[in-house]
Amino acid sequence: MMGRSPSPGFRVVLARPGFRGLWAARTISQAGDVLQFTAIALLVLRLTGSGSLLAGGALADARGIRSVYLLGGLLMLVAATAGTLLAAGSHPRKR
């Protein structure tokens, strides 16, 4: 019976600059996702005084997870586009 070859250790994998950069970027991105989710939840709670609007799980159960993800992605696209347009419009134009 042939055994599996041992997988490389964490240090060996991180010794590769390309993978190390990818791993670091992905880790930072995931941390940002967690912070964004937490900040939005706290903002909704602070603005409304109610935790009932945080019940996204109930919405996903009622409408289907795929629909909720698609709607959420679309809303993030709209928000990012609006933010970009507002930022671009706030800079004085050179004449």
Q: Give residue limits of the domains in the chain.
A: 10-52, 55-95
- Whether residue 89 is predicted with pLDDT greater than 80 in this model: the reply is no
Residue of higher predicted confidence among 34 and 58:
34
Number of residues assigned to the chain: 95
* pTM for this entry: 0.46
What burial letters (b/e) apply to 30-46, b meaning 16+ CB within 10 Å? Answer: eeeeeeeeeeeeeeeee
Other beta carbons within 10 Å of 59:
13
CA distance 26 to 15: 17
CA distance 72 to 65: 10
Q: What is the per-residue pLDDT across 2-53, written as a single tens digit (0 to 9) for each?
A: 566 667 788 888 888 999 999 999 999 999 988 988 888 888 788 878 777 6
- Judged by DSSP in three states, 37 sits in helix
